[in-house]
Structure 1
Amino acid sequence: MAALPSGVLGALDPTSDRAVFRQIADQLREAIDKGQFGEGDKLPSEAELVEHFGVSRMTVRNSFSVLQGEGLVLAEHGKGVFVRPRPPVRRLASDRFARRHRDQGKSAFIVEADAAGSRPEVDSLEVKEERPSQDISARLGSPRRVLARRRRYLLDGRPVEFAVSYLPLDLARNTPIAQPNPGPGGIYARLEELGHRLDHFDEEIRARMPSPHEVKTLQLASGVPVIHLIRTAYDTEGRPVEVCDTVMAADAYVLAYELPAT
């Protein structure tokens, strides 16, 4: 049997009131956090940990279950437990909708993917007219029909978010916004070309655990939460011109905002 890497794992504390399987999970987590086990690395086997700590296999399995529940590791049947690769982190900056980006023909997702040095993709695109939910209708000023644009975003081939934009039908019908590819700068650039110069955005953000559909769509590991963001865009006349309902893999984002002190 191969020896464990020297100094990576210590001894259990027999005086601690923390359960033994949690102590083992703590040590493995710390080793992952310190980079002693990197992304894709295989963790010590059940047999190795049983011998090292002098515990039962069930205790070790419970330790692995804790780490799986936190989204840190993946178990591959017959192969072992591996440190889960994480998607590239994208900073959700407060200036991501600045006009200068649209003037350059770039959408917010493209701008921030470029800043992260990642390859952006959009798939699962669907554009259709539909009746909005009560909440979306209220946010948009109570239109009876909207244009809905659904899409999933990927960085370097990994899903990181999916979003639905809802626009009043009288603004979007028979315009480039209703096309799968609305053109350089995205739908915000098209809205401004149509005379709806954007004034500001309101955002509501909360964190929660994902639904089964969200787990499947974003290919989330067990224990990974999502960030649920709802953004409303207003033009200079004060009219809400779009509501974007976005769900993001929480481990793929850092929310970065610059807030004025006056």
Structure 2
Amino acid sequence: MAGPEILARQIDQASDRAVFRQIADHLREAILNGRLRAGDKLPSEAQLMEHYNVARMTVRQAIQELKAEGHVESQHGRGVFVRSRPPVKRLASDRFARRHRKEGKAAFLAESEAVGARADVDMIRVSEVPAPADVAERLKIQTGEIVVSRSRRYLLDGRPVELATSYIPVDLARGTRIMDDNPGPGGIYERLEEQGHQLERFVEDVYTRMPTREEARLLSLGDGTPVFRLIRTAYDVEGRAVEVCDTIMRGDAYQLSYELPAH
């Protein structure tokens, strides 16, 4: 456990910044400059109270601010620790390049290899469901029309980072490996191209928000960690939407990275 000696500064009584925010500033600085590393235990409430000569509530307000920012997390009966973070994955503009599929790699596997992380998938469920309204709009079908749903959870080095549900028109999925838990090398996009639906483009809409209670549970999110919601529509060369993928991704595990032409 780190002691209060990591906090070189004291409260500035002349500052108009609230005392609990000053304490949070000091702890945050210690985390960002590496004096407190991932997995380190913060000084106890009693140590911080003595170091800063403040009340317990003031210390708790400071800790709560760091929790809300996603820097620390409480472990029941053990204390407050600096959060460990999974490897950052770049959502690059070429992650669905055909060369990855021809190598037998779906996008998640290709991205994970790029950061030296082990990729896993669990909680796979394939079923036929009525199309939600926003999915139906993108697929150009009627709301409630039956589609094939493929839901799964992705993990990096054993840590859950992403929840994804793909929706595929039934005429493209029934009777194919797209209905299998494991659709084979290259994933469902390779299976679609084998049917003659060569992919031409993808359209992505990206939002940020706080997770639902269920999303936080499935992704093991601490307080204050937002998520990306990314909705991707895949189009074939004929202009048909052949898949919509609705993905929830933990915000501390991804970096958006796109290369755009200047013409």
SS at 1:251 equivalent: coil
SS at 2:207 equivalent: strand
**Cα RMSD (Å) of the superposition?**
1.4
Residues 2 and 36 in structure 2, CA contact (< 8 A), matched pair in contact too: no
* 2:69 corresponds to 1:70: yes
Q: State, as a whole percentage, how many aligned pairs show the same letter.
A: 59
Find the counterpart in structure 2 of residue 173 from structure 1.
174
Find the counterpart in structure 2 of residue 83 from structure 1.
82
My pick for the range that moved more, 211-220 or 2-11, is: 2-11
Structure 1 segment 1-262 matched on structure 2, within 5 A: 4=3, 6=5, 8-142=7-141, 144-262=145-263
Q: CA deviation at 1:208?
A: 0.5
Cα distance change on mapping 1:15 and 1:157 into 2, 3 Å: same
Mapped partners of 1:180, 1:37: distance in 2:
42
Mapped partners of 1:9, 1:65: distance in 2:
21
SS at 1:135 equivalent: helix
Query: TM-score, normalized by length of structure 2?
Result: 0.96
Stretches (4+) displaced over 4 A: none
My pick for the range that moved more, 91-100 or 62-71, is: 62-71
Query: TM-score, normalized by length of structure 1?
Result: 0.97
Cα distance change on mapping 1:140 and 1:34 into 2, 3 Å: same
Q: CA deviation at 1:8?
A: 3.3
Q: CA deviation at 1:9?
A: 3.1
1:216-253 deviation digits (Å, cap 9, x = unpaired): 11110000000000000000000000000000000000
Structure 1 portions without partners, runs of 5+: none
Mapped partners of 1:192, 1:39: distance in 2:
43
Mapped partners of 2:19, 2:177: distance in 1:
61
Mapped partners of 2:2, 2:74: distance in 1:
21
Residues 8 and 36 in structure 1, CA contact (< 8 A), matched pair in contact too: no
Aligned length: 261
Residues 91 and 254 in structure 1, CA contact (< 8 A), matched pair in contact too: yes
